[in-house]
Structure 1
Amino acid sequence: MCHDSASSSYKRTKSYKPFTSISACIAAGGRLPKSATKQMDKAIDDATEHNRDFVTLYDRADWPHWSDQDRDCQNTRHELLIIDSNAPLTFKTEKQCLVIFGAWYDPYSDQTFTNSSDLDVDHIVPLKFAHGHGADQWTREQKEKFANDYDNLLLVQASLNRQKGAKGLDEWLPPNHQYRCEYISKFNAVMDNYGLNYIPAEQRIINKMVKACGA
């Protein structure tokens, strides 16, 4: 039986063989619990309803994120905190690996934050959204590149990032109205850069948005 770390059975299981992802477990002959099978059935129904191909179940573990690609002890999140701060930084230790304080403007809320713990790094095009719009066929290396691409990352208020979740343009826009057209433009640019495609119903709505923005 294949369980991810979010499963209630995960912590209760004492004897198990670890895998890097749910996909790897299934490939080795494992099977999903009934609850996950129901999720797959729902995904198939959703794909049929929207006239698109069914994609494999999304597994966040397949998308390595917050990598430290240059091995300097600062992962993608903390490098972004360093790059985007509008004030001198305070680090947790002298090694300067972890950023604690600075000043960051969040365009979603139109507010400035000084404590890094108040911020999440948002994927403009969410990983799960990308997965359902063509990225399910990518290699692990391609997924890692996408998950750590600065052009697809923004420091934003944590609660807004969680409110957005994996929603696309037709389901969520920043509460800061003045930033919405720029957000739409950035979202579309990432989709184009990575060859991702909207379903027809989404595309019709987004075309109207772009037209309203005067683009």
Structure 2
Amino acid sequence: MGTLAVALGVTLTGCGEDTLSLPSADDVAEEVTGEPAPEGGQSAEGSLPGLPGAEEGRAQLGELTVAEEGSMAGYSRDEFPHWQSTDGCTARQHVLVRDGTGVETDDNCQPQAGEWYSAFDGETLTAASEVDIDHIVPLAAAWRSGADSWDEETRRAFANDLENPQLIAVSASSNRSKGDQTPADWQPMESYWCEYGLAWTSVKHTYELTVTDEEFDALTEMLDTCA
């Protein structure tokens, strides 16, 4: 699995003393998706980078390996180093800019103003401190479905992935409610089922992670809500 991070093309660097000014939301979105950011933050189709269409998502789901969940033995969040710095800003800060509206930052890339719509529960947040950056596929869930065999480079790429639909700005309360649960046990509000199911499926497909029977059934139900 060590070659997976290289194949994904994720470039991560350590934090240095010199930092660059934070790019605009349009610049960040265009860098990671190849397209300008949708006006007003997340669109009805979802602004997560690399989000597949419904047909592609269903095809990806059919290609996933169904297996029982693995053990949590040896798991620690420290096994997935984050948040790493890219272009002088952390992955968390990049997502705050990408997913926010009217975001203003200081010289250290930290947002000082803006609004963030939490697609998990419909809340609108007006302070970065109220926003969590959720891993669509939680680190612990990844560990139980194959990440326990990865090397540190691949785990770091997974935890800081700005190129695939793995990171999203949401309310702290919804992120805590989700925890490390899969779609078999936790789903966002129903209006976001399609995008969430597509994102979860895409991430598991990209990183060659397994799904359980119950998880597969829940994802099938969620993707059935896609137009």
TM-score by length of 1: 0.67
8 Å Cα contact 2:147/2:209 also seen in 1: yes
SS of residue paired to 1:149: coil
* Larger of the two Rg values belongs to structure: 1
Runs of 4+ in 1 over 4 A off after TM superposition: 50-55
Q: Residue 113 of structure 1 corresponds to which residue in structure 2?
A: 125
Q: How does 1:28-67 map to 2 (within 5 A)?
A: 51=68, 54=71, 56-67=73-84
| Inter-partner Cα distance in structure 1 for 2:68 and 2:184 | 17
**How many pairs align?**
159
- The one of 132, 154, 161 aligned to 1:149: 161
- The one of 76, 84, 87 aligned to 2:99: 84
8 Å Cα contact 1:90/1:102 also seen in 2: no
| Inter-partner Cα distance in structure 2 for 1:180 and 1:82 | 24
8 Å Cα contact 2:115/2:127 also seen in 1: yes
| Inter-partner Cα distance in structure 1 for 2:169 and 2:74 | 27
AA at the equivalent of 1:170: A
8 Å Cα contact 2:103/2:111 also seen in 1: no
AA at the equivalent of 1:199: T
AA at the equivalent of 1:79: H
8 Å Cα contact 1:100/1:117 also seen in 2: no
Q: 1:163 to 1:179 in 2, by over 3 A?
A: same
* Unmatched runs of 5 consecutive residues or more in structure 1: 1-49
AA at the equivalent of 1:161: N
| Inter-partner Cα distance in structure 2 for 1:209 and 1:112 | 24
> Please, what is the CA RMSD of the aligned residues?
2.0
Higher RCO (CA-CA < 8 Å; seq separation 6+): 2
Deviation, 1:52, is 5.5
Deviation, 1:55, is 5.9
Q: 1:139 to 1:164 in 2, by over 3 A?
A: same
Deviation, 1:51, is 4.8
* Unmatched runs of 5 consecutive residues or more in structure 2: 1-66
SS of residue paired to 1:103: strand
AA at the equivalent of 1:80: V
TM-score by length of 2: 0.64
Q: Residue 180 of structure 2 corresponds to which residue in structure 1?
A: 166
Is the helix fraction higher in 1 or 2?
A: 1
